[in-house]
Amino acid sequence: MAPARLVLKRGAEAGLRAGHPWIYRTQVADLRGFSKAGDAVEVLDAGGRFVGRGFYNPRPSLCCRLLTRLDEAIDAGFFQRRVETAWEYRRASGLIRDAYRLCWSEADGLPGLVVDRYGPVCVAQCLTLGMWRAAEWIEAALRRLFPDGRVQRQDDATAARLEGFAPVQDPPGAEVVVTEADCRFGVVPGGGHKTGLYLDQAENRALVARRAAGRRVLDAFCFSGGFACHALKAGAMHALLLDSSGDALGLARRNLELNGAGDRAELREGNAFDVLRELESAGARFGLVVLDPPPFTRRKDAIEAAARGYKEINLRALRLLEPGGTLATFSCSHHVTSGLFEEICRAAAGDAGVSVRVLQTLGQSRDHPVLLAVPESRYLTGLLLERVSERR
């Protein structure tokens, strides 16, 4: 049966032809032959010229995401080719390891799909109705690529509410112990935050650990303790792991044990904003501080409030740093650009009364590729800063 046809308003195709895959309802002039939300549609410009094909859902304002700009069927073969291409990119780039991101949504030509690999397990996360309806094709592609593994579904509940589908969340499987550089981490596929581990920080964890030897470490918003484990393995004297979630601290405790570092670590449950102030009042000092908070906003209209939150925690962290100490600070709020984040940290340093030098700008691991034409595919930004001296 011929696919439905989505006709764009005049000029609306400019962004698509420049490489961005998103179409909003306000850009649609007409929809012909449409039958079911989540179906693939053929996208035409106002003059009737073919632009591409994508899944259409009238419910959200972002109603269509292009899957292809070629005149090809969106079927099982399409998903097999895309998954294999994603794997080949990572193989050729030396990114195949115990745990890595196999598919990163738009960046791998599969908008609305995330697949993370932990040992023999693929954890698949559908973020759009179209991908949810194509799940059988996706799972078949993964099983063909990894015939000896298994597929775990862990659809995103927030996205499911927006898109209008019932998320599939398989019961968490057995723990898989994966190796990341010099560390071992226990992961329960489908359990905890995201798909089980924050893989976007894998390269940063190893990089930050190079500055940990002989130092006291504060790992704020620690989740499963990845930064602290790497730091302790690299020779840190002691680490304080802070998180508001008791479940997260349970994961961190397990990972400390796996790395033989439990006797050099303290775990504290509490609100990071409060605990950072308490540590400052108590005169605590650290040679390495890591700030890796959850997103402070997912909305463009809440950037100002998010900026205040980022400034507050960075101000406190800089005051906790001993001279010569290092701060690794991050934002995963994609509306907070790298330029804005640097401005926030600059203002925090000014209010803290300290001088800092920028050692390095940081981003997401390379298995989370960024498309130049899709700035939304870059969401993690960070700075590696060194406290130079007290301001005079």
SS3 276: helix
**Sequence-separated contacts (24+) of 7-14 with Cβ below 8 Å:** 7/31, 7/32, 7/44, 7/45, 7/46, 7/48, 8/43, 8/44, 8/45, 8/46, 8/51, 9/46, 10/45, 10/46, 11/46, 12/45, 12/46, 13/45, 13/46, 13/51
From residue 75, give the alpha-carbon distance in Å to each of 7, 35, 56, 72, 122. 22, 17, 15, 9, 21
Q: How crowded is residue 1: how many other Cβ atoms within 10 Å of its Cβ?
A: 6
> Is there a catalytic annotation at residue 63?
no
| Closest among 342, 344, 227, 218 to 286, alpha carbons compared | 218
Q: How far apart are CA 102 and CA 90, in angstroms?
A: 7
Q: How far apart are CA 24 and CA 79, in angstroms?
A: 24
Q: How far apart are CA 294 and CA 277, in angstroms?
A: 19
Indicate which residue of 64, 122, 229, 332 is catalytic: 332
| Closest among 119, 118, 89, 91 to 104, alpha carbons compared | 89
* Residue tagged 């330029």 (tokens): 339
- Sorted by sequence, the CB contacts under 8 Å of residue 56 that are 6+ apart come out as 4, 6, 31, 34, 37, 38, 39, 40, 41, 63, 64, 130
- H/E/C letters for each residue in 290-312? EECCCCCCCCHHHHHHHHHHHHH
DSSP 364-388: --TTS--BTTBGGG---EEEEEEEE
Q: Of all residues in the chain, what percent are helix, strand and coil, respectively (each to 5)?
A: 35, 30, 35
Enumerate the active-site residues.
Answer: 332
